[in-house]
Amino acid sequence: MVFSKKLTGEEFNPEVIMNSGQVFRMKKETKGADGIPDTYYAASGSNEVYFYLNKENDSWDFACQESQWDFWQKYFDFSTDYASYNKIIRTSSDDFLKDALKNSFGMRILRQDLWEVSISYIISQNNMIPKIKKSIQCLCDRYSDGASFPSAQILSTIPVEELADGTALGYRAEYISNISKGVASKEIDLEAISHLSYDQAYERLIGIKGIGPKVANCIMLYGFHFMESYPIDTWMKKIMTEDYSSYSKDEYLDYINKTYPGFQGYVQQLQFYSKRKKK
């Protein structure tokens, strides 16, 4: 079934979103030609969607199962007014961030499937995006139907040696096995953790073997949608030392938290995407 959504360029740009480092199963499916638009594809958990810009109606069309449309509306976070965040950024004195906004027009913070996003960011640690995508797709192909992400119940039964073989997971296979067993046995309840306070959720996540501060903040931002989360990786460290060098780390984080309360994670994505784009 096809669902249409009126979205401006400021509100939605899949090219920016899918290359922002927050998602690993969104891609351009076909490049348009002769009046046919580019078609994009996304998968999350057991949900799939194809979408494209319908120039005749000046709207984005999303093709998915009717029962999945609510999931995708939440996934793309259509209920959040990102233009209001942009207005605050434009009136700030932060030239780096204002330039980042220009380079990242149409960014949104996705609300991804909690199980998939947790495993994806365990895989992401000390890793590169092409390898992360390859490992995730390998898990989908090997232990599911290629489109749906394999469940904790299935992954919990796979020996660590098999998980590591040919998946490029390396030492992360043990972490995935452990958390899969925890979720399958209900010892770990990601849905319940997502409803805790920021500090409680953070402490609960970093208590899980294989989840450190950066991975926890990624799960909390891209899955739990804690918009105050501000993941710090090597790119963000580079930004802090090169573009905000007048601040110490603590001063910089204090500045971000006080100036952009409630959407620090969105600010981080603009900065991250723009910096990588300029590399």
**pLDDT tens digits for range 45-93:** 999 999 999 988 889 999 999 999 999 999 999 999 999 999 999 999 9
Q: How far apart are CA 84 and CA 266, in angstroms?
A: 12
pTM: 0.95
Euclidean distance between CA atoms 29 and 39, whole angstroms:
5
Neighbours of 15 (CB within 10 A): 11
Residue 90, judged by CB atoms within 10 A of its CB (0-12, 13-18, 19+), counts as exposed
pLDDT at position 28, please? 94
User: Does 100 have pLDDT greater than 80?
Assistant: yes
pLDDT at 124: 96
Please choose, from the candidates 186, 259, 184, 272, the residue with its C-alpha nearest in 3D space to the C-alpha of residue 221.
272
- In the chain, what percentage of residues exceed pLDDT 90? 94
146 pLDDT more than 80: yes
DSSP letters, 161-190, are: HHHHTTTS-TTHHHHHHHHHHHHHTTSS-H
- Average pLDDT on 81-109 reads 97
- 149 DSSP 8-state letter: P
In the chain, DSSP assigns E strands to: 2-5, 26-30, 39-44, 47-54, 59-63
φ, ψ (nearest 5 deg) of residue 119:
-65, -40
3-state DSSP helix/strand/coil percent for the chain, to nearest 5?
Answer: 50, 10, 40
Distance CA 173, CA 122 (A): 9
DSSP 29-53: EE---TTPPPEEEEEETTEEEEEEE
pLDDT band at 33 (very low <50, low <70, confident <90, very high): low
pLDDT digits (tens, 9 = 90+) for 120-141: 999 999 999 999 999 999 999 9
Quickly count: other Cβ atoms within 10 Å of residue 24's Cβ: 24
From CA 176, how far away is CA 75, in angstroms rounded? 24
